[in-house]
Structure 1
Amino acid sequence: MSTMKAAICHAFGTPLVIEEVEIRGPKMGEVEVELDAVAICHSDLSYQDGGFGGYLPALFGHEAAGRITALGDGVQGFEIGDSVAVTLIRACGHCDSCGSGSPTTCETPVDYAASPVTTKDGTPVYHAMETGAFAEKTVIHHSQIVKIPADMPKDVACLLSCGVITGVGAAVITGGVTAGQDVVVIGAGGVGLNAIQGARIAGARRIIAVDMHQDKLDAAKEFGATDGVLASEPKPWNAAKKILGRGADAVLVTVGAAPVYDVAPRYLAARGKVVMVGMPHGDKVATYSPLIMANQGQSILGSKMGGVVVKRDIPWMVDLYQQGRLKLDELISNRFTLEQINEAMEDTRSGAARRNVIMLR
């Protein structure tokens, strides 16, 4: 066991507490990573608010990058000192989902009581999303890490661990956007900007960003949006259809607000698809017309973490970044220390930030 500083949640809806906790070493199939940077995702806010459930005390954070400092037995393909991106995608490698190339929906249960972290008095700390990265170190399953170039800045690299793969993957992998298609992205925050980048990389003809704020629509054009529509318009789907001349082939919903899902199908063309990316709290529901969607041959697809295979897709995105075809540096709004994490969380909650990053080294 060793000690480290971590931001612990002791009660939902309250600020995180910076304290010394204990972390065990890696067991069979696990690695220990000393973290350099972790970005704040809206899922972290949902966990903090109690919207995703879980146990207390808890350690959140799942979008990180650092260096391997210890290897458990049976880990192959990694060495101490390797720079890695740390993700929440824990894959057993042998269930039906993993075997069919969909590790983001791994079906093997996780023992949440087996957290590697405890408080100083020995109380287990819930390792949220199997990552617990709002801390100086993490111990995770080897399937959750991917090698990255040693010279790649960790504050940039950590963005690949969730927000970037979620947005780009929603367009390219789950949404299957192809050259010449038209795409609407609802929400021009951090994930939305990456969904826009994904649609651009896939060769979409028109990419319409929809958001409540004009400044976000302006920013969306920097990432590849061809047009913007204010969601505050009486019927923004009509404005989008006027631009396209028809409905969209894909509508990517990147905000975690259930009412948005009520109206998302209205943007669609015949045979179009709604891709569900943003995740509302578990008690929220949405409604739509099965008659209209069935008659038009439309569909709704869930997209967890963009449906990526991290060891295939993160290196691909690193290469796009190195070529200048994928924007990452421009996604970082602010950098904070661990001691400033509550300030960073509230800034993220305001919706003003693309991505706030906690610098741990």
Structure 2
Amino acid sequence: MRAAVTRAFGEPMRVETVTLADPGPGEVLVAVKACAICHSDITYADGGWGGTVPMVLGHEAAGIVEATGPGVTRVKPGDPVVVTLIRSCGGCHYCAGGHDFLCETVFDLDRTSPLTDGTGAPIGHGLRTGAFAEKLVVEQSQLVAVGGNMPFASASLLACGAITGVGAVTNTAKMPAGAHAVVIGCGGVGLNAVQGARIAGAASIIAIDLAREKLDAALRLGATRAIDPFHEDAVDIVTAATGGRGADFVFVASGAPAALESAASYIGKNGTVVIVGMPASDVNIAFNPASFAGFSQRIIGSKMGSASVARDVPHLAALWRDGVLDLDSLVTGRYPLDQINEAIAATRAGQGLRNVIVF
């Protein structure tokens, strides 16, 4: 099969013919139909999180089950599925507490990648998925069957952008109706945080970004105000929109240091900053702890929207079917696998809402 291989950090991916092992116990072979480009793939490919190469990245995918290994009960051949990077055992300390996304179990796929190149040398199973490829093998907990009426490009967004953005609001922050929200960074994750805040019944939703296309999309998806901080005083606007108190929740859906540092400017007393975007490992920011202590403010992290794949993907798919969650309009670029470097360059440049590799 063909796959886009990262051979060196910071260099273009190479589309190569690789070998994929058959699914083992509890594992599933999926024919990939769509895989969205997430900034996490770009950060990893640039070397922002370390690791070793070569590897096949891509983790926001949808496709059709081709075969299952022994013991698979969640899906069957022919099922259209969403493929996530969340791999969970269901029984460890974190899974038992409902935190599947923090599962501590080491699976066979964690020990040995199913991918090898033309010489037989191993290729890393990037982000536990390896979805920039015509086919992939994952553990069954990473899959959820979805109705066949959902376009694969739209379904792929459920694997990361949607569960991360909406989940940051509903699962991590548990934002109540009537709260005031700010979303910093309106890419695929941030726009879904805007939708999550709308669905949760926010009193106001202020979207902050530098790209007009993304601000317009935020307004269409539920933001009550969209701000380019280079041309408007975002702090004054947030203060006015919240009756002078500041936001109750600030969702930082960008890993850029400037975005992270600006978050404290927008929260009010008893406010919460939710870090949703994943910065590179060497990014550090400064904040005033006296302010956070004095005003009873919080900073919390949100990994993958604190999602339970089996619970959240079907729920969000139902919201899509009911017309409550918009996924279709977020897919603004479609590329074949041979143009993956062009798709990554467009995403890196902020062009499009979500660029998707389609097979």
TM-score relative to the length of structure 1: 0.96
Structure 2: how far apart are the matches of 1:213 and 1:9? Answer: 29
Residue 45 (str. 1) matches residue 45 (str. 2): no
- C-alpha distance in structure 2 between counterparts of 1:16 and 1:47, whole Å: 12
Query: Unmatched 5+ residue regions in structure 1?
Result: none
Q: 1:116-265 counterparts in 2 under 5 A? A: 116-233=114-231, 236-245=234-243, 246-265=245-264
State the distance in 1 between where 2:153 and 2:162 align: 13
What residue number does 2:329 align with? 330
Q: 2:52 aligns with which of 52, 55, 77?
A: 55
State which of 73, 77, 80 in structure 2 corresponds to 1:76: 73
Aligned length: 357
What amino acid does structure 2 have at the position aligned with 1:308?
A: A
How many Å separate the matches in 1 of 2:74 and 2:130? 23
The answer to whether residue 97 in structure 2 is matched with residue 93 in structure 1 is: no
Instruction: Name the SS for the 1:201 alignment partner.
Output: helix
SS in 1 for 2:183: strand
- Cα deviation code 1:163-222 (max 9, x no counterpart): 111101011111111111100000111111100000000000100001123442222100
Taking the aligned partners of 1:80 and 1:234, their CA distance within structure 2 comes to 53
Supply the distance in 1 between the matched residues of 2:99 and 2:259 (Cα, whole angstroms).
27
Distance in 2 between residues matched to 1:282 and 1:87, nearest whole Å: 22
Matched-pair contact (CA < 8 Å) for 1:63–1:161: yes
Deviation per CA, 1:200-245: give whole Å up to 9, x if none: 0000010000112344222210000001222225852232112221
- Displacement of 1:94: 1.6
Q: Distance in 2 between matches of 1:189 and 1:201?
A: 18
Q: Secondary structure at the match of 1:91?
A: coil
SS of structure 2 residue aligned to 1:125: strand
Separation of aligned partners in 2, 1:287 and 1:47: 24
Aligned twin of 1:291: 290
Amino acid corresponding to residue 100 of structure 1 in structure 2: G
Mapped contact 2:74–2:140 kept (Cα < 8 A): no
List gaps (5 residues or longer) in structure 2: none
2:269 corresponds to 1:270: yes
Asked whether the equivalents of residues 167 and 306 of structure 2 are also in contact (C-alpha less than 8 Å), the reply is yes
Distance 2:344 2:124 in 1: 19
**Separation in 2, partners of 1:219, 1:57:** 36
One-letter code aligned to 1:83: P
What amino acid is the match of 2:30? V
Distance 1:312 1:224 in 2: 24
CA contact (8 A) 2:183 2:194 kept: yes
- Cα separation, partners in 2 of 1:130 and 1:195, compared to 1, 3 Å: same
Q: Does the CA contact (< 8 Å) of 1:261 and 1:287 recur in 2? A: no
1:113 shift after superposition: 4.5
**What is the identity, as a one-letter code, of the residue corresponding to 2:350?**
G
The partner residue of 2:31 within 34, 41, 44 is 34
TM-score (norm 2): 0.97
The sequence identity of aligned pairs, in percent, is: 48
The residue number in structure 2 matching 1:307 is 306
1:103 aligns with 2:81: no
Residue identity opposite 1:119 in structure 2: D
Q: Distance in 2 between matches of 1:158 and 1:115?
A: 22
Query: Residue type matched to 2:85 in 1?
Result: L
Counterparts of 2:218 and 2:127, CA distance in 1: 29
| Contact 2:254-2:260 at 8 Å conserved across structures | no
- The 2-side partners of 1:359 and 1:214 are apart by 26
2:178 touches 2:203 (CA, 8 Å); kept in 1?
A: yes
State the distance in 2 between where 1:230 and 1:242 align: 16
Deviations 1:137-175 (A, max 9, x none): 000000000010022211111111001111010111111
CA gap 1:82/1:234 in 2 versus in 1, 3 angstroms: closer
Between 328-337 and 72-81, the greater mean CA deviation after superposition: 72-81
Point out the more displaced range, 104-113 or 93-102.
Answer: 104-113
| Aligned-partner Cα distance in 1 for 2:53–2:168 | 31
